[in-house]
Amino acid sequence: MNDTAVFSISGDKVALRRELRRRRRILSLDQQKQAAAALCQRLKQLPEIRRAKRISLYLPVNGEIDPTHLIPWLRQRKVSIYLPVLRPFSTNRLWFVAYHESTPMVKNRFGIAEPCSRFAAERRNRMPAWALDTLIVPLVGFDKQANRMGMGGGFYDRSLAFMRYQGPAPTLIGVAHACQQVATLPVEPWDIPLDVVVSDTMVIRPIKTG
């Protein structure tokens, strides 16, 4: 049975998030590795990646597809790499902090590794989101129109709210396992749309209207 075709989101979003997270968690280690390799090969072909000089990506947890295979290739191309960091004293917002082999790391309250607060607090180690060329962001779910479902905390939506207005802005690339695709997802007023979704099997760009 094709889960992608039959699982739409007319029902409970909490239940759908739970199901999609289960799908990725039950992938075997070999399946995870193969998916990560296939994802990164697709990412390397994107013009938004090939021309970028400042990229934010993430360190995967709980079965998220792994974009870090891209790091050696990015380093070779002299691309500056940043990671999202929970912004202190600000509800559900992110900083984007430089990531090097020597960057001191800690685990945040969600158990995700990120540059430590002392390192992140230094302005020279941070890049405003609008000044990044490309953000690679994890998805819980996506559909054929490149609509997205995140974790539900609104971290990226709040941190990228400036993109609703004219001005400099990064390209947003959502990434996920192919098994996280569903038939349709609703678009909420606060959602920041993606420019492209990439999985281990496909690249999806939203259809432009108007």
Does 54 carry a binding-site annotation? no
How long is the chain? 210
Does 154 carry a binding-site annotation? yes
Does 149 carry a binding-site annotation? yes
Distance CA 186, CA 31 (A): 29
Distances (CA, A) of 177 to 13, 55, 150, 208: 19, 21, 14, 24
Does 64 carry a binding-site annotation? yes
CA neighbor of 104 nearest in space, from 113, 118, 115: 115
Does 16 carry a binding-site annotation? yes
Distance CA 130, CA 117 (A): 21
- Rounded to the nearest 5°, which phi and psi values hold at 198? -125, 130
Does 151 carry a binding-site annotation? yes
Does 153 carry a binding-site annotation? yes
Does 59 carry a binding-site annotation? yes
Does 13 carry a binding-site annotation? yes
Does 156 carry a binding-site annotation? yes
Q: 94-98 and 148-149: which strand pairing?
A: unpaired
Does 14 carry a binding-site annotation? yes
Q: Which residues are annotated as a binding site for ATP?
A: 13-17, 148-156
What residues are designated binding site? 13-17, 59, 64, 148-156
Point out the annotated binding site for substrate.
59, 64
